[in-house]
Each structure stands twice: as structure tokens, then as C-alpha cells.
Amino acid sequence: MNAIILSAVLGVVMMFSSVLVSNQKAYKGIALVGLLIILIANINETYNGPIFEINTYNMLAFDGFSLFFNTIAIVCTGVYFILTSKQIEKVGGHTAEYFTLIFFVLCGATILSAYNNLLMLFIGIEILTIPLYILTGSKKKDLKSNEAALKYFLMGSFSTGLMLMGIALIYGGTGTFALEKIIPAAASAQGAPAVTAQTLSFLEVGGMLLVTFSLAFKVSAAPFHFWLPDVYYGAPSVFTSFMASVVKAAAFVAFLKLFIARAAGTSVDVSKIIGVDWKMIVAILIICTLLVGNISAVRQQNVKRMLAYSSIAQAGFMLFAIFSLNEMAKEGILLYAVAYSLATIGIFAILSRMKDYTFAGYNGLAKSNPALAFANTVFLLSLAGIPLTAGFFAKYYMLASVMQTGHYMWLVIVGVLFAAVSADYYFRVIQSMYFKNSESENEGQLEENPSNIFKITVVALAIVIILVGVFPNSVLYWLYN
Amino acid sequence: MSATEIIFWILSVLALVSGLMVIFSKNPVYSVLWLISLFFAISGHYILMNAQFLAIVNIIVYAGAIMVLFLFVIMLMNLSATAEPKKKVWMKFTGVISGGLLLWILLSVVRSSIDMRGKIAEVKTGDIGLVENLGKVLFTEYAVPFEICSVLFLSAMVGAVVIGKKEE
Amino acid sequence: MPIQYYIGLAIALFCIGVVGVLIRRNAIIVFMCIEIMLNAANLLLVAFSKMHAALHPTVANAGIDGQLFVFFIMVVAAAEISVGLAIIVMVYRNVHSIDVNFLNRLKN
């Protein structure tokens, strides 16, 4: 609760600071101090309970999982601010407003990690995406950015429409919006309908299907991925970085919570009769997503576009958690959120400083900027899932969670195969950096020489990723304590 | 056939015809007008089900504010019927076919769903749709989502200003 | 009224919206079709709320949450529309067209 309230308040503070503070540099400081406050408040809530005692009538439920995810999201946002705030200032004349919108997105992410009611799912998704439409279109004169915003907006509201229809059908079938069907004692004392009928409901299954499709849109699982490459490519690189990291992880947490509560528990007996096998649907989504993401990423010549497709491929791996739905999947999605978000933020922080976004633009980076090239290599290796990086354990936990369910060995094999394919396009970037020489030797690959602070933070981030890769339990330790 | 049923069918036919006209009108202004008629038909349904508050809000917010905004934007852009490039015929065809398939699947789900058989939606009675009851529940049980919606509005407001403001 | 009639009507409206999204290229019309989809969901929610009220006549306020959900949908839709129209106007200012695939068209 602390994180939700404070991130909303911080958004308002940033909004007013655009009027009261004229120094562009000050915004970053305000935002970072604000994030620190949110982080402390959230950690405090984890151990001592919330500061504000608010009766949410079971709309929101804060457990260790959601609070820990909030911590991850806040820390990742902090890293994102430290690395890229300079780039945010360059996008347009509304720096403080961009920070405002990012805080609101963070608020949406914290709602999604804690929702316990389909209404909160809906509102959370909207708070998460509406600021993103704006951020996507924030380069107002750039036609690509315009097209990306328009596409993202139309696709996003279309999938919202699907979700609402699904929620309406679920409501018809069960009579409640709560995630678990048992109406809690407090609510029934208030006179809420005590609908606990466990009748078979075709409507509920149909509704769950529509909500699943809509969430698949949001997390860009194939065949609902087609908006993503254009949007990620067209949006300003700084905001693509945020969309591909924190936002995506939040959408996956929402997806996982919904499936753990609904599809697994209540619809299993129903689905046998109707013939809807949730595991099979998710398996099809996984295979399509891995296939489309990896195959298209291999063919790209532009690193930003490659990263967009590779983010589809990574979504395929995160879907394994929604397939297996056990404790290990929960741990895995948190690890994945850490590994994937940090690596993506790092890569985009370097990418957004490049002159040329093609593979050739990276040629010879290792010579001119060995520190950045090293960090970039670590990030790419982590995304590819090479051992000793955080990405390896993230992928390992995902596959192991599927192994735990018992029967689906073939899916694990498919996952491993595609992980191998993904190494191809990540290694091409490393190859350009280390083994190819830049044609314009004296100009350099970066727009301007990065400051030493930037170099140090990027390398520090790379070291953190390696440390998490060596001791993954250091992250998970906090989940249980 | 009772009066209620007659009203139900009239409103339903009006809603469906308006909906079809929205997507098949050449001129965007006509589309907006048909959409307003669709909203009035749906508001009629709400009144039939005694959801008075929603009926009024639907007319004020949707048919009033939102559609005026739409009309305003269309007038601003001065869109004429010829402005829209034609989609290829086979694209339209596949669009209609896939929409029809969706309709067929969903309708067959409804027809085969046993648990909906014999259930009725109350019409003309019931007091849950009155402002008093809705308000009481909204500001007790639903107070948290209500407050959180303000974040949504703030971000929409900030966003509209950021996007709409002319760059210096 | 039997609930099936309302479900049928809402689903038909929903599919009209989906077809409109698929076959039109004018961004504003596509947007209006999305509004039709939202309204179909609203109608269905109200119908279900009255159904649950009829099923549980003894419980006070049975089914009221369906109508409140509709209220929230309207709130969110209003916010979404303000953002959406701002984006559409921005696009129109730059390219003088609100074709959904305007970049593809510019290339040709």
C-alpha cells in the first residue's frame, strides 16, 4: 500500500516541480530521492506492516511475493533513472512530466502485483498503459514515434475491450469479481452476495479465454505480438527500455496471479468437460512466442529492432511460469524480472547513446570504450542465458519449474533449443564490438563521450548481474525473510 | 407480447442497426451520430433494467461529453468521405468472416451453457441501480479503486497536455 | 427477460465492434468501434448484475458490484478517450491523415 500511495504522490510532486523548479538537472535528484523514500517505505511495509491502515475490502492483498516484486520494480526504476535520466531530458521539453508519467506507471505496476479483484486488475492495467501511450508518442515531430503511439494506443484499447468482455462473462458465470471465489466473511457481513455456487460455467471459461488473450496482448505473446516491434522501434529508446523491463515484468506478474488464482484452481474440473486445456493453450502460446521471437530476431539488421523481437522471445520464457504455476514458477518470475530488467535497462542505456542503431554501429566499440563494451557483453550474455550471469538462473528456474510438474519434458527441450538459437543474435552484437573495426575510425560510435560516472554505474550494474548469477539465492533469500 | 418485451426488441434492433451503421457509414460524422443513437438505445436498456444512475451517466458522459469530443475532432480535421483510403476487398472480407466466426462461437457457447438456462434479468424492478444504494457501496467497499482512479485521471491529464501542447 | 437475450445482444454488439476494428482504416472510426465493444461489455455487466439480484432476492445489494464495475469502465473510458484523441490530433498535425497505416502509405 505504501508503494502505491507514495508513487502516486511522487508523481504529483514531479508534476508540480515542473512549475516550481526551473533547473532541468534538479528533476533527476527529486525523482531519485522520491524513489529512495518509496523503497524504504516498501521495505518497511515488508517487515512492519503499512504506515496507512486502509481497509481495501480485499481488493488488494499484500503478501511477501507482491511486496518483494514492488522492491524489485522500484530498484529497477532507480537504476533506470540513474543510467538514462540524461537521455530523458533530451526527448523533449517536458522532462518533469515524463518523470511524472513514469511514477504513475510504477504505481500501476505496484497495483498489479497486489490486486485481488478483477476490478483492480483492470484499473491497474490501464494505469500501467495509459502513461505509456504518451511516452511512446513523446517525440512529437518524429513520424515513427507518432505511428508507434497510434498503433500502441489502438491495440491497447482493443485488448482492453477484450478483457472487459471477458471479465463480464466471468462475472456472469461466478457472480463475483474477487480472484478467489469464496466471499470473505467481512464482505458478506456487509451484505455482498454470497455467491459460492460451484456450478459448471461455460461463460466463465469463455471469459477466462478472452482475458487470457487480452493479457497475452499486453505481454506480447505470439500470435498477439504484432504491435510490439513497431512500438518498441518507434518509441524513444529511453522509454522502450522502461517498457521492455519493469512494465513487462509487471504485466507478467499480473498474468501469473490471475492464473494461479483462477485457471489452476477453479476451472480444471470444468475444462475437462468442455475440452479447454489451459496447459495446452499456454504451451501453444509459449511455442508460438519462442518461434516468432527468435526466428524474427535472427533476421534483423538493426539492434533496436532485434531487441524488440528478442523481448518477444524472452516473453516466451517468462510464459513458462504461467505454464507450471508452482512455487518455483513464482521464484523464477521474480528472478527473471531482476535479471531481464537490469540487463535490458543496461543495454538500452548504451544503445540510446549510440549514433547508429544497426549492428555495424557497434563495430569497434571495444577499442574505443572497453568498459562499455565489457558491460554490454555481460548484459547480452545474461539475456542469452549463459552460465555465471543472472539470466542463466532465471532461465534455469523457468525450465526447472516445468520439470517439477512432471510430464512436459518436450516443452523443456523446446525451451533449451530456442535458448540456443537466441545466442546467435546476441553474439552478433558482441562480435561487432570486439572483432570488427569501425569504418570511421576517428569519429567514435557514441553520440558524445560518456561521463565517468555513467561508465562506473554501467560496469557496477554488470558486476551485480554476475553476482546474482553466481549467488541467485541472495535474491530469493529476501522473498522468504 | 407484453409492453416490456416490445420495448426490449425495439431497443435491441435500434442498437444493432446503429452499430452496423457506425461501421458501414462512409462519412465519419454519420458514424458519430449513429454511435450516439447506439448509446441512447443502450441507455434505454439500462432504464428498462431500472439501472437509472447508469442510464443517466451513460447519456451525460458518453453521448454528451465523449461524442461531442469526437465530433469536435472530426470537424477540426475536416475529414470527408473520400479521405479514407480503401482497404483491400479481401481484407474486409476476412475481417467480416473472422468477426462472424467469433459471433458464432460465442453464441453457441451461450446456447449450450446449461447454467444460464431459465435465469432472468430483472426488468422494471429492483433498487440496486438507484443512486442511493450505488453511492453507499461505492464510497465504502469501492473507495480504494475510486481513489486509485484519480491516478489514472491525473496521468491522462498530464498526458493530454504533454501531447497536445505545441513545441516551442 | 431471459438472460440469454441480453447475452446474445451484447455479444452481437461486441462482434460488430470487432469487425469494425478489423475492416476500417480511419483511426477515429476504429476508436469508435472500440467504444462499441466497451459498451457491449457494459450492457452485459448490467444484465448480469440484475440476474444475480434476481437469483438472490434475500441478500441486500446482490449484484450491485456489476453496476459499479460499469461505472469504473465509464471513468476509465473517459480518460482513455482524452489521451487517444490527443494522440490522433498529434498524428494528424504531422501527416494530415489518420490512416492507421500511414507510414506504410508514405513509403509507397
DSSP assignment of A360-382 equals GGGTTHHHH-HHHHHHHHHHHHH
* CATH code, residues B3-127: 1.20.120.1200
C51-106 pLDDT, tens digit each:
988 888 888 888 899 999 999 999 999 999 999 999 999 988 888 877 777 766 65
pLDDT at A181: 59
A360 and A251 share one domain: no
Supply the DSSP symbol for B128. Answer: T
ipTM for this model: 0.95
Instruction: Say if C41 is an interface residue toward chain B (CB within 8 Å).
Output: no
Asked if A143 and C106 touch (Cβ cutoff 8 Å), the reply is yes
- Counting the structural domains of chain A, the total is 2
Q: Do B32 and C32 touch (CB under 8 A)?
A: yes
Instruction: Give pLDDT, residue A325.
Output: 84
Closest CA in chain C for residue A157: C34
CB pair distance less than 8 Å for A123 and B152: yes
> How far C26 CA lies from chain B's nearest CA (Å)?
6
Q: How confident is the model at residue B168 (pLDDT cuts 50, 70, 90)?
A: low
- The pLDDT assigned to A199 comes to 46
Domain ranges of chain B: 3-127, 130-168
Mean pLDDT of A28-42: 93
Question: Which of C5, C23, C42 to mutate to probe the B interface, most B CBs <10 Å?
Answer: C23
Q: At A374, which amino acid appears?
A: F
CB contact under 8 A, B46 and C64: no
- Is A182 inside any structural domain? no
Lookup: cell for A454: 555513467
Domain interval for residue A57: 1-163+229-261
Query: Under a CB-based contact definition with an 8 Å cutoff, are residues A97 and B161 in contact?
Result: yes
What the block records as the C-alpha cell of A174 is: 461466478
Q: Are residues A292 and A238 part of one domain?
A: no
Under 8 Å between Cβ of B23 and C16:
yes
Domain boundaries, chain C: 3-107
When pLDDT is cut at 50, 70 and 90, the band that residue A442 belongs to is low
Assess B123–C contact: CB distance below 8 Å, yes or no: yes
Chain Cα centroid distance, residue B33: 13
**Structure confidence at residue A192 (pLDDT):** 39
Q: Residue A468 above 80 pLDDT? A: yes
Answer whether A104's CB lies under 8 Å from B151's CB.
Answer: yes
The set of cell numbers assigned to A351 is 544503445
- Nearest chain A residue to C18 by CA distance is A158
Residues A305 and A257 placed together within one structural domain of the fold = no
Q: What angle do CA A66, A71, A77 make, to 5 degrees?
A: 125
The answer, yes or no, to whether residue A210 has pLDDT greater than 50, is: yes
At position A265, the amino acid (one-letter code) is: G
If pLDDT is split at 50, 70 and 90, which confidence band does A187 have? very low
Percent of chain A having pLDDT more than 90?
Answer: 45
Cell of A179: 480472484
Mean pLDDT value across residues A429-443: 76
Best of A104, A195, A247 to substitute, by most chain B Cβ atoms within 10 angstroms, is A104
A104-152 tens-digit pLDDT: 999 999 999 999 899 999 999 999 999 999 999 998 888 889 989 999 9
Instruction: Tell whether A320 is covered by a domain.
Output: yes
Per-residue model confidence (pLDDT) at position A98: 92
Is the confidence at residue A244, as pLDDT, over 80?
yes
Has this prediction a pTM greater than 0.95? no
pLDDT in tens, A272-321: 555 567 788 888 999 999 999 999 999 888 899 999 999 999 999 999 99
Cα separation, A230 vs B47, in Å, equals 44
Residue B50 has pLDDT above 70, yes or no: yes
Angle in degrees, CA B114, B129, A181, rounded to 5: 45
Ramachandran quadrant class, A58 (left: phi over 0; alpha: psi -120 to 50; beta: rest): left
Measured distance CA(A217)–CA(C77) in Å, rounded: 19
Number of Cα atoms under 13 Å in the Cβ half of residue A480: 8
pLDDT category of residue A197 using cuts at 50, 70 and 90: very low
For residue A178, tell me if it sits in a domain: no
Clarify whether residues A248 and A330 are in a common domain: no
pLDDT given at position A176: 84
pLDDT tens column, B55-73: 999 999 988 889 999 998 9
Residue A201 — very low, low, confident or very high, per pLDDT cuts 50/70/90?
A: low
My answer on whether A241 and A346 are in the same domain is: no
Question: Does the beta carbon of B142 lie under 8 angstroms from any beta carbon of chain A?
Answer: yes
- Grid cell locating A171: 462475472
Is it the case that residue B112 has pLDDT exceeding 90? Answer: no
Nearest CA in chain B to A137: B163
CB nearest to B102's CB, from C18, C76, C78: C18
Chain A residues lying within 8 Å of B148, measured CB to CB: 4, 8, 111, 120, 123, 127
C-alpha cell at C16: 460488430
Residue A182 CA to residue A176 CA, distance in Å, equals 9
C-alpha cell at A420: 540456443
Together in a domain, A256 and A113: yes
Average pLDDT over all residues of chain B: 87
Hey, which CATH number is domain C3-107, 3.65.10.10, 1.10.287.3510, 3.40.50.300, 3.40.50.2000?
Answer: 1.10.287.3510
Same domain flag for A13 and A44:
yes
Cα gap A351→A193, rounded to integer Å: 54
Q: Identify the chains in contact with A, defined as 3+ C-beta pairs within 8 A.
A: B, C
Is A321 found in the same domain as A246?
A: no
**Average pLDDT of chain A?**
85
- What count of CB pairs under 8 Å joins A to C? 126
